[in-house]
Structure 1
Amino acid sequence: MQWSAREAGCLYYGFSFDGDFAHCREGFQDADALLAHLDNLRPILHEMGEVSTLVKIEIHGAEQELAKLRGSLAPLNPQYFVLEFGFRRS
């Protein structure tokens, strides 16, 4: 996943495993960075689907950023969580 490390808007990513389940956690600067990341992954998404089953997608963020994603990501049926409190150091 070295390409994620080179994406300007990617803040972090990592994988953890529990038996046959893989969990990918990624953080992006904003909705545009997430959409750019998905475009970068497009060539391998089909391959990933051949060897795995997508169980769940959660997207956490400010409502104004989530609103930018709702239409584009609707086919993936993600669960959205609106960030209400907290902080992030840049």
Structure 2
Amino acid sequence: MSASLSIRFERLGRTGFVVTDRDRPARTLVVYRDSHPAAFAALRELELDMASVTPARERLLLGVIAAAWRARDAQRSPQWAGRDPVLRPAA
């Protein structure tokens, strides 16, 4: 991932989120299904401020999303504990 990525944020229904590379739509960076406020805020920051987000900040934001995912699963679905959002490499 690089700071030059052009991010498209998409809300799917009530709790689904997809973040993709606008320049290469097949490149899905994150698939996240939750309404955790910290994760939602991190996704919005990726969408709105991507032009100024450094690679380190991008990793931090994706870490917030992953942490919220893990916390949600640990509470609601112990059998899924530890599963991160789907991170797919560039095509």
**Which bracket does the TM-score occupy, shorter chain normalised?**
under 0.3
Give the TM-score taking structure 2 as reference length.
0.24
Max Rg structure: 1
TM-score by length of 1: 0.24
